[in-house]
Amino acid sequence: MSTPYVMRPSKLEDLPALMELAELSGPGFTSLPVDESILEKRLSKSEKAFAGRLDRIEYGKYLLMMEDADTGEVVGCSAVKAGTGIDQPFFNYRIITLSQASQAAGNMRFDMDALVLTNEYVGYTEVGTLFLKANHRGGGAGRLAAQSRYLLMATDPARFGTNVLAELRGVIDQNGVSPFWECLGRHFFRMDFDEADRLSATTDNQFICDLMPKYPIYVDLLPPEAREVIGRCHSEGVGAYKLLQWEGFEFDRTVDIFDGGPLVATQKRHLRTIRESQEVRLEVLNDAGAPEFKQGLVSTDELPDFRVCQAAIAMRDDQTAVTTADTFEKLQIKPGARTRIWVRS
């Protein structure tokens, strides 16, 4: 059974709703800062991206809003950034393994992990900003918010990179304290985690270039509470992590420089939603016959009017699918329109 939700491009009028989502998201959710002016600029950039008004396609930042089609309430969001590290530096820690051996000490050998500052993901497309109000999670809503990003990429692949990454929020306690930050970042930045997080979201990140350690940091020299959270995601991000793994993302031994959360990556052509989706002409179900329906997703095929919703779908032939009338209402299209579908196997 389909839900009443639909994913659509953000609009400038979504600012109050986006502010509410930012306030609900909690500390460490860098892409949703509680800053009205920043969010307003983000909505403006998204509007330009969907309209194709970009100096370079790599600058595209596409924000999707989840709307309850029955009430009009905005209940969540997700986003795609066409190119990371293009308009501002994108730094992470890569976990490398250093080997040391000594014949003089009885042929002893040690392998030790170290954190090395890197900005090697320039040009990757990034998916993120996945957040839903607590009372609207479940029933496939999270999957809709996540997979809509890949259907967006499939609609116009040339706008997006060959490789795709996602960052997950790291471990932060109920008081907004990050063990990784307290044991490492604070010594170099001399500021609270919230302040560093705010600067990361609202500046060109020059402060990271200026203050981050330039030499490898041996993981074994960090306190246990910091070592334990390296590469772990926030408890509220476990579901999103599982969806990313299902999609084909893998942990790339790279973590966030502030909270130690994991970075996962894959190639665009390996994304499961894209691989398993297909373009079809969509028709409304009539009373002639009872086809075998499967649950899935349907998206429109043009970015300015891009929309995605869950639907019951049946194939009539290789090029045509049928669905119920409410799907056309959610997508604001007419029977016979070209669409892209993904069907749950």
**Residues labelled catalytic:** 234
Return the closest-CA partner of residue 258 out of 189, 210, 206. Answer: 189
DSSP-derived 3-state class of residue 152: helix
Tokens of 258: 């502030």
Close Cβ partners of 7 (under 8 Å, ≥ 6 residues apart): 64, 65, 66, 67, 78, 144, 145, 148, 307, 308, 309
Give CA–CA dist 151/340, Å, rounded.
8
DSSP-derived 3-state class of residue 124: coil
Tokens of 50: 């969907």
Close Cβ partners of 95 (under 8 Å, ≥ 6 residues apart): 113, 114, 115, 219, 230, 231, 253, 254, 255
DSSP H stretches of helix in the chain? 15-25, 36-51, 141-155, 179-180, 186-189, 193-202, 206-211, 224-227, 238-247, 272-276, 325-331
Is residue 263 a contact partner of residue 255, using CB atoms and an 8 Å limit? yes
Handedness of CA 138, 139, 143, 146 (dihedral sign): negative
Based on C-alpha coordinates, what's the Rg of the chain? 22
Q: What's the full length of the chain, in residues?
A: 345
DSSP-derived 3-state class of residue 64: strand
Q: Is 111 exposed, middle or buried (0-12, 13-18, 19+ CB in 10 A)?
A: exposed
